[in-house]
Structure 1
């Protein structure tokens, strides 16, 4: 029995093994605790950064570019909502989007591109963003949205639209595809028109939903609208007339500028040829140039009234003086200066009425070159207008240490210097405004700016009365007359300079103002290189002046002051 009874022994556990296992487990827990403490307490930045990279996002508020409007609030440039089509090539390949061949073909068709070219843009799976097409219409965007192509997305943007098209293209200008101004007012006042988008930090979940607002990064700045001094009614009238005339006379280009005499505001400024800024395929640099401020011309006989003002101011002649132009020609420095015929002894008024070169030379040679140049500068020639228009030229008023007689003589009838149409219009506005030069403005002011008296009022008024005879019987600008209104102005026809002299191309000009009894509007019309038999300013530019000025006076409700109106009033009183 004792043999069968055996004591059951407990298993032995060696002490060192137990200690080793416990030590390893303890060390593991210590290591985990130390690592957690290090990450969360000692150096939490990296972990926080990793988390933020997955959840923090910066959202940008949408902005619209400011509008450009005329003086009455009519829209000349506005921003319309459109969509940009873009793709994520990595997503396209990851989700096998290219296997939907029919959908990609439909996408190519609606975007107007070949399917192969479209697919080639997304062939790099490492890229995350590529534009497929920008500024698509809402209808096209909705069609693309319904295709449900993985990796193809839409994002909102805006496109500039110009309701008046080619009428205001040179002055208003246009923007590029990113909404930055590249021509005209759009460029000159780009910062003023551009809004600054606001940014805010948010936390999003994996589905892109905002779960926490973290604050504003930068405040949004709203865009500013611009009100121009332009009257769109006059602008449209001027453009139609100028375009029709330039096409009829096959002119290389033409420009028209109309100013408000009392304020210096630009009421109309148009050029041909023009372009449609809504159709970028028509955009060409030579068409986009605002020739009214960028191109310069020798003014020809339209400069003569300014020289007469200078002669009156310096006491060379008086308003009722008689000038002997006999024998109708003279030689200066080996060159001949002449009139079309010998006019004999004529008044200063007749010098302007008949556009006598001899009469102008007789007056100019009695003045010093400094006196002539000083007068031209005071009229605004040779200096910038200060309106901030893109590409504006200041023209060229010659400065010489020594003047020959022929140089002084040719200056008196408009050769040897260059002016822009805008500068010439301002000079005539000075005459119409009693010798006061107002600062020019293309942006509508909220206050009245006082002008500067640059020439004596009596001399400006005297020349204004003389210029009225130019439009009347016996004058060179009878085609500029407007029934019912008294009109004053001057024609000019200058030959275009070429290397070594003058060529066979001409510039026809008419500059004038109305109504003479109380001048309100001054206008300059320039026809550059008209073709055919008629190229004189009185034939190609004066009729445009008459048509546009007549319409402008009626649109602005300016009371007629002509002889016909006076007779009508007298008949009404007598009856």
Structure 2
């Protein structure tokens, strides 16, 4: 009986195990199904991310060359030329025993101009995968290296910036570093505009690195932009040649020149001496690369006097035909002596400018308030940034004081105690020449010049310009600035260099002028800093440069001579009256 019972119980035990096993298997399948559903339906993002991290890659879309810099006539001032970079893979070099080819490595060292030992030291670490051997080699050198067929030595294309005009435009155009980023001048100020931005595409790659799917553009490539400057390279070259000659002849510390288009505010020429060659980076020095026409400031001396006369006319201190008593030719203010070279007596406002009378200027300035004088200087653009965005531009210094002494107000009237850049001084004379209208200055050529604003009354600006013509004529201080066939107006300036505790024995010679006066087109400022020798007055060192450059520019721009225009018109009218009308 017991045996029979045991036989009946055994199938029950086996059946239970079978059901238990099936339940476990079903539970496992359910768990797998639930996990798959969770991963694929409810929370698929993490798994997709893991897959994308292993397969998705960004591919750069090749960009174009850096934009060109050109003058107003399309002449190239800065261009990019194709070159090659030589680089090495030290791990590959050691793996393929490239160093065993000693003669080839010796030839490579010689063509790169690098000592053999130093070249080998760069590739001695077998764990490194990339090292530059030489940047920006010429195509000829690159072809020679390619023929050496050294394992682990490779070439990659890159660009080098080339400046066709060399030192003529070095301070204005500037230069780039070896990576093609602007570090000076226009190259730096407009670096983003000149630089192309590579685009980006998203692709899927297999484990062998092959593209199996193009997923589209992530960001569009931005093309590089060219820049067209307002500079006229013909005038720029003429100006640099003349300025450099004067700089060397007078053994000056530096010299600057700025020419503006009176009607538009465009910069036609901007040069400095000494200059440098931007094509030779090994000679680059920061202090030589600065654009002194906008970074360096000087006390303008007598070149400031026309602006002070405008202020006196505007505030009713004098009229254009007024007479001013400068006797006895000197005065004391606050224990300081202010004097002319000699007693000029009772003279007109025009003679005050013609003879550069400090006494006449002081008589006018002392009848005004300091606030009136400063307001006029600000309206002429002094003490204010030009807005052109050039690197390192200085605003100059127009003094601000709560209390003014008589001597401070007096010296301001003949250009001391205030500092300006050559560019600011050129703008002030352009405003005078343009009937008191100020146009925003620009170095970038514009399709349509913006409308100007009336900075000072037109009648006063025109009156002062008429007076400045006598400065260049007989009896004036700037006869060296006269140009045959053209009416010229301008003002000389000679200021002593300030030192700690007063003024030293060094001078700055300046000349600022405009031509032709019948219809002013060009304003030009020349600054000769610390000329050596017996000649240091502005009329001696700066005026001849003005005459040479202005004369050449007027001819290059086909501006008609106007010196005898009125007389010619009278003769023409008389001849016309004798001809019978038909």
Q: Aligned equivalents of 1:315 and 1:59: distance in 2? A: 68
**C-alpha distance after superposition, 1:309-335 (max 9, x if no partner):** 000000100011000000000000001
Q: CA deviation at 1:454?
A: 1.0
SS in 1 for 2:242: helix
In 2, Cα distance between equivalents of 1:201 and 1:137: 34
Query: Shift in Å at residue 50 of structure 1?
Result: 8.8
Q: Could you report, residue by residue, the CA deviation over 1:58-84 in whole angstroms, capped at 9, with x for unpaired residues?
A: 344143111111111111111111111
Moved more, 373-382 or 215-224: 215-224
The equivalent residue for 1:77 is 78
Q: Tell me the distance in 1 between the aligned counterparts of 2:532 and 2:526.
A: 16
Q: Secondary structure at the match of 2:475?
A: coil
**Residues 359, 44 of structure 1: CA spacing in aligned structure 2 closer, same or farther, 3 A cutoff?**
closer
1:470 paired residue number: 471
Q: Do the aligned residues in 1 keep the contact of 2:63 with 2:222 (CA within 8 Å)?
A: no
Q: 2-side partners of 1:356 and 1:402: how far apart?
A: 26
Alpha-carbon separation, structure 1, partners of 2:53 and 2:493: 76
Q: 1:379 to 1:51 in 2, by over 3 A?
A: closer
The 3-state SS of whatever aligns with 1:538 is helix
Q: RMSD across aligned C-alpha pairs, in angstroms?
A: 2.4
Equivalent residues of 2:55, 2:207 under 8 A apart: no
Give the Cα–Cα distance (whole angstroms) in 2 for the partners of residues 410 and 559 of structure 1: 40
Name the residue aligned to 1:352.
353
Structure 2 residue 377 is the aligned partner of structure 1 residue 376:
yes
* Residue in structure 2 matched with residue 199 of structure 1 by the alignment: 200
> Structure 2 stretches of 5 or more lacking a match?
1-27, 577-582
The answer (yes or no) to whether the contact 1:484–1:564 under 8 Å persists in 2 is no
1:218, distance to aligned residue in structure 2 (A) = 2.5
- 8 A contact 1:303–1:412 mirrored in 2: yes
Change (3 A) 1:57 1:316: closer
Q: Find the counterpart in structure 1 of residue 389 from structure 2.
A: 388
- Separation in structure 2 between the aligned mates of residue 450 and residue 178 of structure 1, nearest angstrom: 40
Q: Equivalent residue of 2:511, what SS?
A: strand
Contact 1:483-1:564 at 8 Å conserved across structures: no
- Three-state SS of the structure 2 residue aligned to 1:469 is helix
Change (3 A) 1:208 1:63: farther
Counting matched residue pairs gives: 539
String of CA shifts for 1:218-241, please: whole Å, max 9, x gaps: 321101111111111110010000
- Supply the distance in 1 between the matched residues of 2:552 and 2:210 (Cα, whole angstroms): 61
CA shift, 1:282, in A, is 1.9
**What is aligned with 1:136?**
137
Alignment partner of 1:544 is 2:556:
no
Within-5 A mapping of 1:397-476:
397-476=398-477
Range with greater deviation from structure 2 (58-67 or 281-290): 58-67
Structure 1 residues 126-162: Cα deviation after superposition (integer angstroms, max 9, x where no partner)? 1111111111111111111111111111111111111
Shift of the 100–438 alpha-carbon distance from structure 1 to 2, 3 Å rule, reads same
> How is 1:136-535 mapped onto 2 (pairs within 5 angstroms)?
136-202=137-203, 213-535=214-536
Cα distance change on mapping 1:114 and 1:343 into 2, 3 Å: same
Deviation at 1:286, TM superposition (A): 1.2
Counterpart residue number, 2:69: 68
Report the counterpart of residue 26 of structure 1 in structure 2: none
TM-score (norm 1): 0.90
Q: Using the alignment, how far apart are the partners of 1:95 and 1:201 within structure 2?
A: 35
CA separation in 2, counterparts of 1:312 and 1:49? 77
Cα deviation, 1:331-378, whole Å, max 9, x if unaligned, reads 000010000000000000000000000000000001010100000000
**C-alpha distance in 1 between matches for 2:178 and 2:284:** 13
Deviation at 1:202, TM superposition (A): 4.9
Residue 198 of structure 1 and its aligned partner are, at CA, apart by 1.8
What is the CA–CA distance in structure 2 between the aligned matches of 1:180 and 1:341, rounded to whole Å?
57
SS for the counterpart of 1:392 is coil
Question: 1:202-255: per-residue Cα shift (whole Å, max 9, x none)?
Answer: 567899876654433332110111111111111001000000111001110000
Contact 2:382 2:424 in 1 (8 A): yes
| Structure 1: distance between partners of 2:491 and 2:319 | 20
Q: Which residue of 2 aligns with 1:27?
A: none
8 Å CA contact 1:481–1:487 kept in 2: the answer is: yes
**CA offset digits 1:461-485 (Å, max 9, x no partner):** 0000000000000000000000000
The CA distance in 1 between the partners of 2:436 and 2:463, in whole Å, is 11
Instruction: Give, in angstroms, the shift of residue 48 of structure 1.
Output: 4.9
**CA 1:428 to 1:50, structure 2 compared with 1: closer, same or farther past 3 Å?**
closer
Deviates more, 1:527-536 or 1:123-132: 123-132
1:217–1:101 distance in 2 versus 1, CA, 3 Å: farther
Q: How does 1:66-105 map to 2 (within 5 A)?
A: 66-105=67-106
**SS of match in other structure, 1:496:** strand
